[in-house]
Amino acid sequence: MTKSYHVAVVGATGAVGTQMIQLLEDVTFPIKEVSFLSSARSAGKKLTFRGEEVVIKEATPDSFAGVDIALFSAGGSISERFAKDAVAHGAIVIDNTSAFRMHPDVPLVVPEVNPEALRDHKGIIANPNCSTIQMVAALQPIRAAYGLNRIIVSTYQAVSGSGIQAIEELQTQSQAILSGEEFTPAVMPVKGDKKHFQIAFNALPQIDVFTDNDYTYEEMKMVNETKKIMSDASMKVAATCVRIPVITGHSESVYIEVEQDNVKVSEIQELLRNAPGVVLEDDTANQVYPHAASSAGKKEVFVGRVRHDLDDSKGFHMWIVSDNLLKGAAWNSIQIAESLIEQEII
């Protein structure tokens, strides 16, 4: 008998939770029941799932009775509060927040890169940061073939990574500027930080708050998570993370240095053309390259502008784009659930 699963989504009304629920409609594994959970504020709202009405309930420690897979995306504090309850009830938690990502007992997984790490789970599995996921998914085939010594990345990140309030702020602020009206920034770059700046028609070099080393947490997530996912603490990784006025779709300007000599651009392009979850869009003669607007709503990671560094024979530049709510969050979480089932871990 094929096993059927009870799946919970915590943060069901958020930007990522909404996407998770849509993606669950079409998963390949059998679903016997869903629980859509939220804060008390959103509880009672109704959603339609596979043609049936589902009432959103307030998340409590007992919400996870009978749940097999619990997808969390309601902020780190909610994950810290309820993940252990879910695990105690026998669920496997797939957590989209940064709460557990660097915990040594928690696998941090991008299924195209390190699905084997799922076997070591102790109840909680972490979904990496959006900007990390798309980068490692694109770089993994290159690393597997030629080795990878160094990554320098500058990001062009969409506001939806900061949630629905950030999307609303970008829209209302853009309209205010176009109409010549006053506005007061209140959400970006970081809702909980001291100062807020204009995001419409601007670029802000701050995502998440600053750490003691003058990098932001977002930048250090890219550094530390990349090393963990790729199991290579010695890899050189540096990041500059920048918020730009895009609603959905993160773009990344990535420089890499491979280990092997004499690698050709055409070889890297061929690897990416055949890599799982990656789409090569790279034909400069015909202006073919990915961009946020062309990638939003799609599950894959798109790569273009692959070219040799002009000075370093082992250096290459490329442009990596993906939907930050899908592959960067909801879709990667769903893929982790599918991989757990395919590997018969659950």
- Name 155's bridge partners: 252
- CA torsion angle 86 21 157 176 (round to 10): -120
Q: State residue 287 phi and psi, 5-degree precision.
A: 55, 40
C-beta of 239: minimal distance to a copy of itself in Å? 9
Q: How far apart are CA 322 and CA 110, in angstroms?
A: 14
* Residue of the chain from 110, 113, 142, 244 that contacts a copy of itself (CB under 8 A): 244
**Strand intervals (E) in the chain:** 5-10, 31-38, 46-49, 52-55, 57-58, 69-72, 92-95, 124-126, 148-156, 236-240, 250-258, 278-280, 301-308, 315-322
157 marked among binding-site residues: yes
298 lies in the site for a copy of itself, by CB under 8 A: no
- Cα dist from 72 to 36, 64, 75, 168, 315, whole Å: 10, 12, 8, 23, 38
The active-site residue, picked from 6, 89, 250, 317, is 250
* Residue of the chain from 11, 111, 245, 277 that contacts a copy of itself (CB under 8 A): 245
- Interface stretch with a copy of itself, choices 95-103, 136-144, 236-244, 324-332 (CB under 8 A): 236-244
Which residues within the stretch 172-191 sit at the binding site for a copy of itself (CB under 8 A)? 174-175, 178, 189
Q: How far apart are CA 159 and CA 157, in angstroms?
A: 7
The full length of the chain comes to: 346
* Other beta carbons within 10 Å of 191: 13
Is the CB of 12 or the CB of 170 nearer to a copy of itself?
170
238 lies in the site for a copy of itself, by CB under 8 A: yes
Which residues within the stretch 256-295 sit at the binding site for a copy of itself (CB under 8 A)? 265, 284-287, 289, 291-294
Q: For residue 317, indicate whether it is catalytic.
A: no
- Interface stretch with a copy of itself, choices 18-26, 112-120, 133-141, 238-246 (CB under 8 A): 238-246
Contact between 219 and 226 under an 8 Å Cβ cutoff? The reply is no
> Taking the CA of residue 254 as centre, how many other CA atoms within 13 Å lie in the half-sphere pointing to its CB?
30
- Interface stretch with a copy of itself, choices 5-13, 270-278, 300-308, 322-330 (CB under 8 A): 300-308
Structure tokens at 318: 């490329």
Which residues within the stretch 108-147 sit at the binding site for a copy of itself (CB under 8 A)? none
49 lies in the site for a copy of itself, by CB under 8 A: no
Q: For residue 250, indicate whether it is catalytic.
A: yes
41 lies in the site for a copy of itself, by CB under 8 A: no
C-beta of 47: minimal distance to a copy of itself in Å? 24
148 lies in the site for a copy of itself, by CB under 8 A: no
Assign 11 to helix, strand or coil: coil
Q: Which residues contact a copy of itself by CB under 8 A?
A: 150, 152, 154, 156, 170-171, 174-175, 178, 189, 193-195, 197-198, 201-206, 210, 213-215, 223, 236-238, 240, 242, 244-247, 249, 251, 253, 255, 265, 284-287, 289, 291-294, 304-307, 309-312, 315, 317, 319
Binding-site residue ranges: 13-16, 41-42, 101, 157, 160-161, 243, 324
Residues annotated as catalytic (active site), given as ranges: 130, 250
